[in-house]
Amino acid sequence: MSHHLIAIRYSIVLAVLTFSALADEIQDAKRKELMKEYKVNPAFIYKTEYKTKDEISAKVASKISRFLNKKYSQKYYEKIKKEAETSYPLYLIGDKIDVKVRANKISGTVTAIGEIHVTISGRTISYKDLGGKNCFDKVKTEELRDLHVSENYYDKKQALKDKLFKDRKEILAKEMRKNGYVMIDDTWHTTQEAVEIIEQEALIAK
- For residue 100, is it within any domain? no
Question: Could you list the residue range(s) of the whole structural domain that residue 22 is in?
Answer: 3-86+134-205
Within a 10 A sphere around the Cβ of 91, how many other Cβ atoms? 19
- For residue 113, is it within any domain? no
Count of alpha carbons within 13 Å of 68, Cβ hemisphere only? 19
> Residue 91 phi/psi, 5° resolution?
-120, 125
- For residue 114, is it within any domain? no
Q: Give the residue, 170 or 203, on which the prediction is more confident.
A: 170
* Residue range 48-101, pLDDT digits in tens: 899 999 999 999 999 999 999 999 999 999 999 999 999 999 999 998 988 888
Count of alpha carbons within 13 Å of 30, Cβ hemisphere only? 16
Q: Is the pTM of this model over 0.85?
A: no
The pLDDT assigned to 76 comes to 97
* Residue range 177-200, pLDDT digits in tens: 999 999 999 899 999 988 888 888
* Residue range 96-105, pLDDT digits in tens: 988 888 777 8
- For residue 165, is it within any domain? yes
Q: How many domains does the chain have?
A: 1
- For residue 119, is it within any domain? no
Q: Among 92, 141, 97, which Cα is nearest to 123's?
A: 97
- For residue 167, is it within any domain? yes
CA distance 150 to 159: 12
Q: How many angstroms separate the Cα of 96 from the Cα of each of 13, 89, 92, 167, 198?
A: 107, 12, 9, 51, 79
